[in-house]
Chain A
């Protein structure tokens, strides 16, 4: 049974269901459970649901210490940039303690935050910083693009025995979609083909999936069939599904809200380049944010971010090109 639910609601549903299921799951963060009326506080009590001081280093470090001693903390960090305040805990503590202990401890925790808030939040609150977390051994990264994935990836993140960065896209918060009721787990490292097609593969995450699907609609009207693949988790990265699609279409466009060299797209492009065999008929094309900080004013912000028109243009350019046979 599925129910129409907003992306934001789906995340909350997953947290509530997992807290119901496992008493070791705790949930805390800034500006959370401020009054007795808070629904999580009412349901799970003040031991497991807490407001935290505005101290990212302590919030994230406390989660690490709690995780190695038996809890499964979810830390609400609100905006992915706030994790930068505690980058040591994110990069150098949470993912390393298990390894350094020779596998004696596990660090099951979720660092939850929104990102990419392209609504006038300017230079420090709307960036995409997930690229900096990719390739950190021991850390996993989930970026849901639909309400169903938002629920299933959160539930899987909470049950995972490793530290997970769960990044939900602010621009998708109110988007509705069918969400399975009850237990719904989206396994990590399994990409989802959001639209099937035969002429070109578009790989995108988060809000860019929505943009890419809109672009695919426009392309379909011109007789171009685009396949849209959403990796859903950046670590682990399902290279196999992307490669399979590229082998079918022979052409690849990577859409990423991050800046060009600080994007997941650049890393996926390198993976496909190494594994492609004779699959690619044209060079890959990346559609990313321009190499600027995110500007405040709306026309400036629109100019630097990927959109449907830029994706359509990129698809047309790869369709117009041929790569010499290797």
Chain B
């Protein structure tokens, strides 16, 4: 991992810090199912394992660029500046939540922090991000839209239609395909024609005659360099690119689907739980992006052990505060439910 041009030591430390914050936030969400059963309702999806891709990509952002991911959406707003207190309170369904308890884990939205919202329906948010890029183009704002989605979403018509339209209209958008190998519970080898043929998923870009690149999604600097090129292309009105970032998510797709009052927790990752591939998952854990980046920064003396510990402790304190804030926040008043239907 060479130090890339334009990334100062401070910026690299910032990147490490963001990765640690995401991991700590997600681990506190996950622990909530054990420590406070029943506090989180519905279905929750975590981004642990995606940190290098999220941070590597968003480190290329300028000013007012927007991030628009799928429902696996906790990591991005943390990087954009959304207070984790409000995010945790939303995930707990509380009054002080980011969306007042109307959205929950799958539907975080924080337009003030360049995070207009998400969709819980696979692939559909790709069309919304493409629409945000239309706004940027029509209003000539100079913004680039960062559109994140999983490998599963590329099997949806919304993906194909959006990339075609984005290419035809030369929209300022970067399509970032997070190939974590599992669409919910289904392995990519069971549903992706490119994968089955031994090709990278980024080959799909060829269908739209736009650049398609595959990158190691566990290396934030490689992601940074790859996304940077795509962002430059988008900002110079040349249109979209497709970047496939490969990594394993380190948690299961979501908490187990149970019917109340049966409690729910995160099961083992599908690799183990469904497919019995213990070695595959052990390798993914060994390839965890955070310790790898930490070791690299220590080796290059960009970070000292003490710095790293301080960053980690600070993230722990920040997310502990978020949990305590969310637990203390009241539930919304029930009659609030009829608000916000119409503007």
Would B116 and A105 count as touching, CB distance under 8 A? yes
Q: Which of A53, A70, A101, A162 has the most CB of B within 10 A?
A: A101
Partner of A89, one of B107, B127, B129, B139: B127
Question: CA separation between A93 and B108, bound complex, in Å?
Answer: 14
Q: Which of B109, B129, B130 has the most CB of A within 10 A?
A: B109
Q: Does B210 contact A (CB under 8 A)?
A: no
A100-B103, A102-B102 are known contacts. Are A61 and B127 too (CB-CB below 8 A)? yes
Would B102 and A68 count as touching, CB distance under 8 A? no
Which segment of A44-52, A146-154, A193-201, A289-297 sits at the interface?
Answer: A44-52
A58-92, CB < 8 A from B: 58-71, 73, 88-89, 92
Would B99 and A104 count as touching, CB distance under 8 A? yes
Q: Does B211 contact A (CB under 8 A)?
A: no
Per-residue A-contact encoding for B106-147, CB less than 8 Å = 1, 0 else: 010111000011010100101111111111111100000000
Q: How large is the interface on A (under 10, 10 to 19, 20 to 34, 35 or more residues)?
A: 35 or more
Q: Does A98 contact B (CB under 8 A)?
A: yes
Q: Does A106 contact B (CB under 8 A)?
A: yes
Partner of A52, one of B111, B119, B135, B165: B165
Q: Does B162 contact A (CB under 8 A)?
A: yes
Per-residue B-contact encoding for A123-161, CB less than 8 Å = 1, 0 else: 000000000000001101000000000000000000001
Q: Does A26 contact B (CB under 8 A)?
A: yes
- Give the chain A neighbours of B38 by CB distance below 8 A: none
Would B343 and A71 count as touching, CB distance under 8 A? no
A50-B169, A101-B102 are known contacts. Are A65 and B339 too (CB-CB below 8 A)? no
Question: CA separation between A16 and B70, bound complex, in Å?
Answer: 36
Q: Does B158 contact A (CB under 8 A)?
A: yes
Q: Does B98 contact A (CB under 8 A)?
A: yes
Tell me the minimal C-beta distance from A79 to chain B in angstroms.
18
- Give the chain B neighbours of A92 by CB distance below 8 A: 121, 124
Per-residue B-contact encoding for A18-59, CB less than 8 Å = 1, 0 else: 000000101000000000000000000001101011010111
**Count of interface residues, chain B, beta-carbon cutoff 8 Å:** 45
Tell me the minimal C-beta distance from A236 to chain B in angstroms.
9
Would A88 and B340 count as touching, CB distance under 8 A? no
Would A47 and B132 count as touching, CB distance under 8 A? no
Query: Which single residue of chain B is at the shortest CB-CB distance from A58?
Result: B161
- Give the chain B neighbours of A63 by CB distance below 8 A: 131
A89-B124, A103-B100, A106-B343 are known contacts. Are A66 and B134 too (CB-CB below 8 A)? yes
Tell me the minimal C-beta distance from B334 to chain A in angstroms.
15
Question: CA separation between A105 and B162, bound complex, in Å?
Answer: 22
Would B117 and A68 count as touching, CB distance under 8 A? yes
- The 5 closest A-B CB pairs, nearest first, are A61-B127, A65-B131, A65-B128, A102-B99, A58-B161
- List 9 A–B pairs whose Cβ atoms lie within 8 Å, in order of A's numbering: A53-B168, A58-B127, A60-B127, A62-B130, A65-B130, A65-B133, A97-B128, A102-B103, A103-B102
